[in-house]
Structure 1
Amino acid sequence: MKEDLQYYMSLPYREVIEADPSGGFVGHIAELPGCITQAETKTALLDLLDDAKEEWLAAALEDGVAIPEPARAEDYSGRFNLRLPKSLHKDLALTAKMEGVSLNQLAMCLIAGGLKASAAKQ
């Protein structure tokens, strides 16, 4: 079954909005390469981003371009393996013990903090 524009417009694509250093805002749809727009306000940007998504999808359908669908929560198990140096493993384990938390909890908090700091820089 071939999907139509309405189908793709209903999918929960991830909208990324960032302040533009020269003023206003820039937004793009993470899963749709090149689907980007800008505006002076966030409200205007959201409207324009929806229009940009619709135009991107319509053009892709017309040209027969494969359209990626957004990732679903069930695509992620919440688990991954990480290899690290023994010395770092030791430092993390000792820190977790001192804090009275599991190594998993400590690693999760450190990763979340790093992601938050990284997002703040962008």
Structure 2
Amino acid sequence: MMQHRGYKAHIEFDQDAELFHGEILGILDVITFQGSSVEELKQAFQDSVDDYLEFCAAEGKEPDKPYSGKFNLRIPPELHRQLDEEARTHHASLNQWVIQKLSGRIETHA
């Protein structure tokens, strides 16, 4: 995973074209880049992030930030009720309880 100015990218290699392709993760805007070598790929990634930030500044637009920490989730009402009851039983807010449940699941599957 590559990082530049707080932005991360997912990289894939296209064997037929002999090119690396990348996409910046965690933002709504779609920003892709490519390179035929690791050095070219790194430079294209950094240039893409810098160009994106410069474009946003010129347009007076707030650039998307990677992962705001907000995450909307639609779940069945019965599951919502069940999670809320569990949270209250453990003296936690629903938000705290869901974070705890998700964190534990991720740690056990890592």
Name the TM-score, length of structure 2 as normaliser: 0.54
1:78: Cα distance to partner?
A: 5.0
Name whichever structure is richer in helix by fraction: 1
Aligned pairs, number: 76
**Equivalent residue for 1:24?**
19
- Code of the residue aligned with 2:53 in structure 1: it is L
Compared CA separation, residues 17 and 78, structure 1 to 2 (3 A): farther
- Code of the residue aligned with 1:79 in structure 2: it is K
Cα separation, 2, equivalents of 1:78 and 1:69:
24
SS at match of 1:14: strand
1:53: Cα distance to partner?
A: 0.8
- Code of the residue aligned with 2:50 in structure 1: it is E
**Unaligned regions of 5+ residues in structure 2, if any?**
71-98
Give % identity: 20
**Equivalent residue for 1:59?**
55
Aligned pairs for 1:1-122 within 5 A: 10=5, 12-21=6-15, 22-30=17-25, 31=27, 33-71=29-67, 75=69, 77=99, 79-80=101-102, 108-109=108-109, 112=110
1:32: Cα distance to partner?
A: 5.7
Give CA deviations for 1:39-70 in whole Å, capped at 9, x if unaligned.
Answer: 10122101111011101111111112231212
Compared CA separation, residues 78 and 50, structure 1 to 2 (3 A): farther
Compared CA separation, residues 108 and 66, structure 1 to 2 (3 A): same
Cα separation, 2, equivalents of 1:41 and 1:78:
41
Compared CA separation, residues 27 and 45, structure 1 to 2 (3 A): same
Name whichever structure is richer in strand by fraction: 2
Cα separation, 1, equivalents of 2:54 and 2:34:
20
**Equivalent residue for 1:3?**
none
User: What is the root-mean-square deviation in Å for CA atoms of aligned residues?
Assistant: 3.0
Name the TM-score, length of structure 1 as normaliser: 0.49
